[in-house]
A and B are shown apart, each in its own frame.
Chain A
Amino acid sequence: MSTRRDAGLDPFGPGLISRNYPMTFDEQYFNIGRLDRLSYQDTAVHHLDARVKVIATMLFLVTVISFPKYEVVALVPFFLFPALIMTLGEIPVRFIFRKVLLVSPFAILVGIFNPFLDTATVAVIWGVPVSGGCLSFVSILLKFALTISAALLLVATTSFPGVCHALRRLGLPSLFVSQLLFLYRYLFVLTEETMRITRARDMRAFGVRGTGVRVFVRLIGVLFIRTVDRAERIYRAMLSRGFQGDIPSLRCSRMAATDLAYLAATVSLLAVLRFFRVTEGIGAFAQRLLP
């Protein structure tokens, strides 16, 4: 983080954890922008084929989610994946950590009742009784951290257009993929437009008048009209450049040996961690070493 940004617009400033999910406008904007910038770095992880990364991420998610609801210990080794991707891909740990925290309220809200509803003692650890609900709540939290960081890291190491073209080559309808690409391209343009509109509102509202529903409806009405006009201009510009209803990619990607090796390594590691009780094995080994 540069100190210049820290002055006023730093989206990751102090007090973030206590903030509600609807972030302020600038925060949301810089958040998308930062993830996008991270995805154009030049590291070994970024160079892997996008399809391989999409497939590996999906396999990782399914494996993590497939653990039964009381499983805690076996989930721990899975943090190896995000840790490796973050370090090899040079993604700031704190950035991902804060984004995970930001979206956690729903999972916590639904899971927090488990310790109160499922009070049967399932284990006694060093004299302290542990209820099933506590275990399943911790399990939900671990799964949450793993799955959310996996999704964020996929974008942060692949770039959104990269993910889109990978999805097209994996068989998604091209119409849907063009939608995603369009949406992504104009997201930044429209967000800046919206930023100007809300700024104008805030300067006149002093935080009180004009922040209600009535003005909001007018604002999005204006935004909508500008959007439709813009779409018309875009369409004309694209027609004059030979648009025929599809956005092809010129980049031809080929699976290299390293890509396949990465996939094979991921699959085998996932399988080992899923079917063997690795964590307990390490623990038992350590116990045997100690007197």
Chain B
Amino acid sequence: MHMADALLSPAVGMTLWAGTAAVGGYASKRLKEQIDDRMIPLMGVLGAFIFAAQMINFTIPGTGSSGHLGGGMILAILLGPHAAFLVMASVLTIQALFFADGGLLALGCNIWNLGVYPCYLVYPFIYKPLVGGGKTSGRILAASVVSVVLALQLGAFSVVLETLFSGKSELPFGAFVLLMQPIHLAIGTVEGFITAGMINYVQSTRPGILDGMAASRPAGAEVSLKKVLAIFAVLAVMTGGTLSWFASTQPDGLEWSIEKITGRKELPEQEHGIALVLKTIQEKTAFLPDYNFKPAGNEAKREEADLAWPRIEGGTSAAGIIGAAITLGMIVLIGMGIRSFRRR
């Protein structure tokens, strides 16, 4: 469920990057205040652990397919929210760079979807109250399953929203949700059992370890509801700003989804003000916006295409296609030329 660069628009990517950067800055600030030096290697090595554990496949009973560990929730339980968020962010960064899972622009989205929800929403407000003080294995099991399912559902839903707001995919909201949520319900249930199983196993074989880790956490690692709400409020405002930008740049995809969600056709009136300003800025920065080379021979065909849908140019004229072929050929030639030149 990694979000991909190709499905993102810059506005959505940047918004989520900004949100992720803000949370990351907050997490490392809180950690730095009261960190035990012991935590630094522990966090790094646990990140490598999540990575290594993800590489072990297991068969899911009854289906024959194989699953693997996600890890956000397990980290939050072991390390507390701040440290877990940073570890998750570093795991995802390495995945983006080495396995190209998603890509670098989508990394903001992915850290948000897979890091912020388990660490800052589900862990403090769902997992901790559910587990309570007793920490019996039954309670750990119930709390883990509920938490992991919830975190994954939030993450999957965010992927849907990010894709929709980017407007690159034509997949309708309802169908996409129906595609994503049930799959992640199944994944989440299995992962919840695994999370609980691992914690209970460690608890029973080496009871000291988890307590030792809890003791070296920063003392005041509790997340206050007020701060979480404040962060989400800031993000809501930022998202709103982005949305209004979309209203001007990507009308079709967004209006469609807004219509579906709210039942109304357009955004409230005052948003057009921002959109207008942004649009004039955009028009000023994009020099020669309507620049087009004059086609030599295919006047008639171009006209036909223009009539069909004049708004979308896309460069699909004969000149465009010939140009694309020539460009690709030149790139290949340049590459091969340099290569053979270097060999000599």
Contact = CB atoms under 8 A, between A and B. Distances in A.
Interface of A: 22, 25, 28-29, 31-32, 35, 57-58, 61-62, 65-66, 68-74, 76-77, 79-80, 83-84, 86-88, 90, 93, 99-100, 102-103, 106-107, 110-111, 113-114, 117-118, 120-126, 130, 132-133, 135-136, 139-141, 143-144, 147-148, 150-152, 154-155, 160, 163, 173, 175-176, 178-187, 189-191, 193-194, 197-198, 211-221, 223-225, 227-228, 230-232, 234-235, 238-239, 243-245, 275-284, 286-288
B315 A110 contact: no
Contacts, number: 393
A61 B268 CA distance: 32
B169 A126 contact: no
B170 A143 contact: no
Given A182-B48, A284-B295, 11 more contacts: A110-B171, A117-B172, A140-B7, A179-B40, A215-B58, A216-B194, A217-B201, A275-B287, A280-B317, A281-B319, A284-B293
B28 A61 contact: no
B262 interface: no
A140 B194 contact: no
B86 A179 contact: yes
Contacts of A176: 24, 28, 86, 89-90
Contacts of A173: 24-25, 28-29, 32
Contacts of A74: 315
B223 interface: no
Given A73-B315, A79-B331, A186-B48, A122 B309 contact: yes
Interface of B: 1-2, 4-10, 13, 24-25, 28-29, 31-32, 35, 37-38, 40-49, 51-53, 55-61, 66, 68-69, 86-87, 89-91, 93-94, 96-101, 103-105, 163, 167-172, 175-176, 190, 193-194, 197-198, 201-202, 205-206, 209, 213, 250, 253, 286-288, 291-297, 301, 304-305, 308-309, 312-324, 326-328, 331-332, 334-335, 338-339, 342
A280 B327 CA distance: 10
B37 A245 contact: yes
B323 A283 contact: yes
A140 B168 contact: yes
A132 B331 contact: no
A136 B338 CA distance: 33
Given A190-B49, A190-B51, A190-B52, A83 B322 contact: no
A70 B314 contact: yes
Given A160-B97, A213-B58, A288-B296, A148 B103 contact: yes
Contacts of A136: 168, 170
A125 B321 contact: yes
A191 B168 CA distance: 37
A182 B47 contact: yes
